[in-house]
Every structure is written in C-alpha cells, then in structure tokens.
Structure 1
C-alpha cells in the first residue's frame, strides 16, 4: 500500500516527462481532479518560481482507505475485487517525498516508513497516525462549534488530516512541501490497469493469504488486484518491513517506466484511461498549477528518477514499556534532515549538535558481525569505489542486524554511508572516534558486497532502484 502515493507520479508523468503534444493538450482534462487546501497560502509556489530551499518538493500520500476521493464508502463488490476487508482506518500507508532540484533534470524520491516514531501534536507516535489524529480532532471541534452538516464536517476533517500529515513530514525531514497528492486503494487499482500493468521481478515465489499475493519467481506483469497485492504484502517477506518498501519502490519504478513508454504515450486509448483514472481517484492541493508544472519539468527523463529510503536507527523499536510487544521504526531527525538535504547537494542547517556538511572528510571502519568470510573487506571495497576512505576492521561480536554509527557532527556522512549500503539503521554515538564512521555488518546484511566477487552488489535486488530497468526483489 505504501506505493499508492508514488503512482501519482505516473498520472502526471504522461505529460510532465513525456511532453507529447497529445498529452499536453489533454492535461486540461485533469482540471476536474479533486482539490483540497493542503498547502499554506503564504508558502504556495508561484508559477515559474524556483523554491528557495533548492528543490520543488511533492508529498505523495497513499491511504489504506475503503472510500473514494469524496469520502464515500466503496461498494462491497468493489472491496471484494480489491481483496480488501470492509474495515479501513485513517492511516497513511505511503509517505513519499519527490525532490526535483532547481535547475536540474534529475528527480529523486525517498520513502518514509509508515511506522517512523516522531514528535507531533498530541504526543509522540507513528507518523502514519498523524492523519487520523487530526481528522478526529477537527471533526470534534466542528461539532462542538455547532456544525451539523455531515459533508462539511467530513471535508473539514479531511483537510485538517492532510495538512497535519504534511506538517509531520516537514518537521521530520526539514523539507518544505510545495505540493501534495493523495491516492487510495481504488485509485491504485484503476491506474495500474489503465497503463496495461507493470513489469516486476521476484527472486522467489511467494504466497500470502492476507494480501492475496500469489506470484511465481522471475519477471512478470501485474495489474489491478494483483498489483495491489504485490505492494501490500507484509507477511512472508524476509527481513523487516523495509523489505516491503523496497518492493514498492521497484513497482513504482516500473510504473514510471511503463507510463513513459511509447506503448502508453502513443496510445490515445491508454492515455485517456490513465487521465480518467487520475480524475476519479486522486486528490491534489488547491495551489498546484499543472500546466505551469509541465512547462517547468518538460525534458526530465524517466531514467533520472531514483528511489531511496530515509536512514533509520532501529526497525524494532520498543517505544512503550507498558506494552513491550508494540514496535515502531526509530529515526534520528538530524540524520533524516541531513539525508534529505544531501539529495539536492546541500547540507542541513547545523546547530549545537547539528550535522556537518555531507562533504566533510570521513574514514569508514567496517566490522563483520556475521559468519560471512571476507564480508567487511568486500563492503569496504564498495565504499572506496564511492569515494570514501574505508577499510575492514575485522570481526566483532555477532549480531543479527547491521548498524552505522557516527558522532553527531557526522550525521550527514553517516546517513550517506547507510544509504549506499542499502538503507541500514543508523545511530549517533559519542564513542565513535572523531572523523570516523563505524559500520557493523550483521548476519542478515544483504546490501552491496554481501556476495563474494569483490565490491559488486550482492545481486539484482541490491542494485540502486531507478526507472531505467527491472530489478528483482524479495
């Protein structure tokens, strides 16, 4: 479900990235898409303006909602087709920030795990709960103020929920969101069918009753309910929930590739179906001028879309001592801000303990906490190829998961190392020597260098995810 927000890119890409005369003319049909006042008026990006933070930033949100974009419940027969239960909730299962740096044609997207534990109004919690908290609070406020019109209460609550989600993302990442797009279960189903399906590849066959997933190993094309099952599957995936994030990033890369292909852009029928699917099911912020956006983005290539995930500290964070079974994803806001800033080549603002410039000199010490012979040396070789001064630090006490440690002043470089190695957990630590970043490779490490063969990636699933080609995943 986390891929839901991402596929909005596909709906816009039909003209943004393709730039065909047919697509541009028909973009006006998207004037009928649902709008909402999500972006603060004083912060709206004006036509032709280049944002002051150096990048046009779009928040893509996917909701595990059993209603349409007008808040009307989906019919039982539709839910059966979607393989979704009747009980939905007000959580955001997808949070993606699409960064388009000023003056460049390179697009970068990064995922925020839905269970990231953050500070927000009402107290700390998982970031995907920001939507439901604000929705309930605003509905209660409106009723208390005397509002009795259900439609007005529902719309006011949804607007507040979307704004709260936007604010939570801004607070965590330090990114000023310029535009907002939201999709739900139905929109994902319709858009994936409209483009004729998406090519994906699995390393192994998989089957999961809860999501409806039932796929063979190898390359295949998925659409509709099967595509929904592909991105929603949770049970049966090896590793943590971050494995599902990677699977969904691969799906979006394939979706972007499919939309940009001649088979879609040159087919008036497919293009029309795609536009209609977007109109029926997508919500955009009220300030987004799509025609101006197309003019700014014309010429961006599909191959320039790159995908990543924010650095995390602990994927099995026990945040509630009263309920030790409750888990979340622990994140370090300073490291996340440094990571987001590095995507456009600038450093996050430095405070008393703020991150240093991403270009700060650093030595990476790589330790092997697994039983894989030569792992530290191979990973150090990968890092040297990326320009780091890196060397193996021998074996260390066995542990399951991998970790990147660094002093607080090197949060930016630590986040960069973690990203290069497949999105490893990160941890600020004053015990790390000055100027050094420590990498501890656990028994489940599967990133670049995991397999024998020098500094080469451990396999197709460890390759960087872009819209250039199909990458096999778990």
Structure 2
C-alpha cells in the first residue's frame, strides 16, 4: 500500500516559512535544515527563473520512506506509532506544484496524481517511479565507477532521484520549477503534531485497516498518526486515489490555516516545536534563499490557497497488454501543459478569433451538472458559453466542429484532457460541440480541472470543506 499523504511539506512552503515572516529571528533557527542540489547550474538547471511577475513555482514532494533524512531506518517503535510497516518503496507519492505570487494574490496549487503515466528516462511509467529509477541508476553508476564510500553513493543517488522527479514534473506540466521541498513519513507526523492538529471534516464515518483510519463523520481535529491515516486512506473511498488527493488538499489548506493562526504564531512553544520538526526532517534545494522567500510570503499570507488537480484522460488506463490488471492514470501532456499554464497564469494570450467561438456542451453520462461545470471551465479559457444539457447515453467523449474551427476545436479537446475530435458540417457556424461520455474524467469532475464535481465544494484555505 503506497502512501500519498506526506503533504506537510506544503505546510513548510506556505505556512511554516510564511508564518516566520512575522518574526525574522525565528527564521535563523532553520539554518540547519537539510539541503540538496536539486536545482543548480551543475545539474543543467538554473535556480530562480524569475518570471516577469516575480512569482515562484515550488515543487512539494512527499516521499514514501521509512528512513530519516540522514538515511537511517526509523526505529520499530516509531513505525508502530505511525501504523506503517518496515518496508517502503522509493516513490514520490505526493506531487504538488505551488505558485507563490509576488504580491497579494492568492497562492495557486495543483496536484499530480502519483500514477500519472508519463515519458521519462528508462521508458514510460508512473511519474512516482521517476525518483526510484534515477536513484538506483546513479547508485549503480557510482559503484561501477569504483566508488566504495556508501554514504557518498547514497547521497548522490538521492540527489539524482530528486532531480529526476523535478525534471519529470517540468516535462509533464511545462512549468519551470524554481524550488524544491521534500518530507517523509516522520516529518509529516511531527509537523502535524507540532501545530496542535488540523481541522478537517468527513461526509461520512470511515474505517480502514490498511491505513489505520477510523474516523467519525463531521468536523474533527487530527494530528500525528491520525493525520497520517487521514491522508493515507484510499480503500473504501468512492474515488480511490482521487479522493485521497482531495484529502491531501483539504489537509494542506487546514495546515496552512492552523500555522498562520495566532494560536501558533504567538505560542513560543508551538513555534519552537514546529521549527524543530522542520529541521529534523525536511529537505530543501540549496538555492532557496529563505529570507527572500519570507519577504515574498508576507504579501500573500493573508490571502488564500486555491487547489486543483491536473486533467486526466482515463483513471483506469490499462497500459500493459501483457498484464491487463496493471492500471495507471492516462494523461495528455498537451492538455496538462495548457491547464498548468492557465492555472499559474503564464499562458500567452490567445490570438483573437475571427468571430466569437461558442461552445455547446452536452452530458451523455451520469454525472449531474457536468455540462454546466465544463462550460464554465471553457468560459474561463476564453470560449463563449453556449447551450448545456443532457443527451443520449454514450461511453466516450467527442468534440465536433466545422472545418474553419479545426484549430479551436483541437484546443478545446486538449483543455478537456485530450478528447477525440470530429470535423462535421452539421455543427452551426461559430460553434463547437462537446459531448461528454460516461467515462469522461477531465476538468469539471473531481480530480480533473478547476470545477468541482457535483456536491464538492472548491478547496481553499478560507475554511473547512467536508470530503469523502
């Protein structure tokens, strides 16, 4: 059972460092945080790309590791407290890209499902495997070159894994990562306890043996092992991993809200515990200048965080003909790049169309309100709202358009996760028609775009949202 929930790193990036903006003296206590050359000139990248608006893009990584940041295995007593076994994979089971603006705008963040099937060195595979592949390859290369110092081999391998993860995210999203932060199981556990717990809410009671989850319905405060169980659980959830991603986002919003509250910032004991937890277990890239970052966070700490998830084509993608039971999450890189550019505000303005382009959306599946939500998503991307409603049931989705709107029709198809297209003279002039099939899982559904599914409130840091 892999783990997704080590998202306290985002609490570091937004909340912990943002909170220390209230007192620069606290920041110096973080001088001992572990650093790694994830983003540097030697690695073929340049830190701090500095977009025109001065914003920063941070990759927040949660790694499935039963070791501390020095590579020492966690003691059996600690593993029992965490309710996890001794064996863990070299997987990055939480990947969140966070845009920190230079000013008072809201922070925007989006999740990448851990099973997203992408191209990377060594062949196509799930994006959370990029770390382990590169780590193993670098360790082998060092040993083959005659290196015998285990500590040096292990550190070089970890650096290679982190760089490969950063590169895989950049390749998929088109977003240049300026900074990197990583936590593991222990750091998540300690940070959530240090802030005194995080407020969450569940739509119904849930119990799961594998994760240790045992929660009543309704609002509640969780910390430590309970918090880890909350973000680990995927069994007995309707949406599986996608519900678990939504739990990550809810917990992260609550963590930021809790750290930035007066109860934490004005409590020397809590603040000290929080800083100690970060120092013990968090890894940052060595190009990250914390004082500069804190100054930038001052402008946004009073705003909020808006969460989303990249669009997907198929949540149950059978990628291996030799093993029909193997599944992954199918994504369209072009659609993901378009989504990410719109999400972080880096997309170049679209060239004006010769005539207004109206999109009519029909829902051929069972999801109530889907056509309206998708129409709203497309309106946010410059298309005029047309008619919305239901149509005869069909499994697959389709985008239809006249010959003169082939380019804009292809753009709509990509925005919605890479849908099939069809040129048709029957489509009215100036219109594009979208038919959403029963297996549609792009923007407008949970875990696939800026609009939430029916009954699901948008996740921000402004308040507690009940989730599955």
Could you say which TM-score interval applies, normalised by the shorter chain? 0.7 to 0.9
Query: 1:89-146 deviations in whole A, cap 9, x for unaligned?
Result: 1011001111124455321111011101111001110011100000100000000110
Q: Is the 8 A contact 2:231 2:248 kept in 1?
A: yes
> Per the alignment, in what secondary structure is the counterpart of residue 465 of structure 1?
coil
Does 2:418 align with 1:427? yes
CA distance in 2, matches of 1:377, 1:33: 48
What's the CA shift for 1:438? 1.6
In 1, distance between residues paired with 2:296 and 2:335?
Answer: 31
Give unmatched runs, 5+ long, in structure 2: 401-405, 425-429
Query: Aligned pair 1:468/2:466, yes or no?
Result: no
Maintained 8 Å contact 1:304/1:466? yes
- Please, which runs of 5 or more residues in structure 1 have no aligned partner? 349-355, 419-425
CA distance in 1 between partners of 2:236 and 2:452 (Å): 27
The alignment partner of 1:357 has SS state of coil
1:357 counterpart = 2:350: yes
- The structure-2 alpha-carbon separation of the partners of 1:411 and 1:196, relative to structure 1 and needing over 3 Å to count, comes to farther
222-231 or 50-59, which moves further after superposition? 50-59
Query: In 1, Cα distance between the equivalents of 2:71 and 2:20?
Result: 33
Of 253-262 and 302-311, more deviation after overlay is shown by 302-311
Give the whole-Å Cα distance in 2 for the aligned partners of 1:122 and 1:61. Answer: 21
Q: Distance in 1 between matches of 2:185 and 2:67?
A: 8
Tell me if the contact between 1:206 and 1:216 (Cα under 8 Å) persists in the aligned partners. yes
CA contact (8 A) 1:130 1:168 kept: yes
Distance 1:260 1:428, change over 3 A: same
Question: In the aligned structure 2, how far is the partner of 1:428 from the partner of 1:358?
Answer: 22
Superimposed CA distance per residue, residues 16-48 of structure 1 (whole angstroms, 9 cap, x where no aligned partner): 4346543x21111111000001003274446xx
Q: Secondary structure of 1:257's partner?
A: helix
Change (3 A) 1:359 1:379: farther
Displacement of 1:259 after TM fit? 0.8
Structure-1 separation of matches of 2:343 and 2:452: 24
Tell me the SS of whatever aligns to 2:467. Answer: coil
Superposition map of 1:380-395 within 5 A: 388-395=384-391
1 CA distance for matches of 2:165 and 2:351?
28
- 2:36 and 2:283 in contact (8 A); partners too: yes
The secondary structure found in structure 2 opposite 1:225 is: helix
What is the distance in 1 between the residues matched to 2:115 and 2:160?
A: 21
**How do 1:252-267 and structure 2 match up within 5 A?**
252-267=252-267
Q: 1:160 to 1:45 in 2, by over 3 A?
A: closer
Name the counterpart of 2:50: 50
For 1:175, the equivalent position in structure 2 comes to 175
Q: Is the 1:319–1:327 Cα contact (8 Å) retained in structure 2? A: yes
The number of residue pairs the alignment matches comes to 446
What does residue range 137-286 of structure 1 map to in structure 2 within 5 Å?
137-286=137-286
Distance 1:87 1:127 in 2: 20
Q: Distance in 2 between matches of 1:347 and 1:145?
A: 44
Alignment CA distance shift 1:385-1:139 (3 Å)? closer
Compute the displacement of 1:472 (Å): 0.5
Asked if structure 2 preserves the Cα contact closer than 8 Å seen for 1:193 and 1:223, the reply is yes
- Cα RMSD after superposing both structures: 3.1
Q: Which residue pairs with 2:4 in the alignment?
A: 2
Please tell me whether the aligned partners of residues 312 and 441 of structure 2 are also in contact (alpha carbons under 8 angstroms): no
Tell me which residue corresponds to 2:438. 442
SS, match of residue 279 in structure 1: helix
- Aligned residues of 1:408 and 1:429 also touching (Cα < 8 A): no
Report if the CA contact (8 A) 1:376-1:392 is conserved: no
2:295 is matched with which residue? Answer: 295
Post-superposition shift, 1:430? Answer: 2.9
